[in-house]
Amino acid sequence: MTLDEAIKHAEEVAEENEKRANWFWAKEGNPNYENRVECAEEHRQLAEWLKELKAYREQGNALMDGILKIIHSTIYDFMDVCDDDESPLTDKDKLLLNINKAICNNLKSLHEQFEKNIREFEVK
Q: Which tens digit of pLDDT belongs to each residue from 28-75?
A: 667 788 888 899 999 999 999 999 998 888 887 777 777 777 777 776
| Residue 75 and residue 39 in contact, taking contact as beta carbons nearer than 8 Å | no
Q: Is the pLDDT of residue 82 over 70?
A: no
Higher-pLDDT residue of 122 and 10 is 10
Binned at pLDDT 50, 70 and 90, residue 14 comes out as very high
3-state secondary structure of 84: coil
pTM of the model: 0.54
How many Å separate Cα 103 from the centre of its chain? Answer: 30
Task: Give residue limits of the domains in the chain.
Answer: 3-121
The Cα 114–Cα 124 span in angstroms is 18
Instruction: Give the number of C-alpha atoms closer than 13 A to the C-alpha of residue 85, restricted to the C-beta side.
Output: 14
- Residue 82: which of 54, 61, 105 has the closest Cα? 105
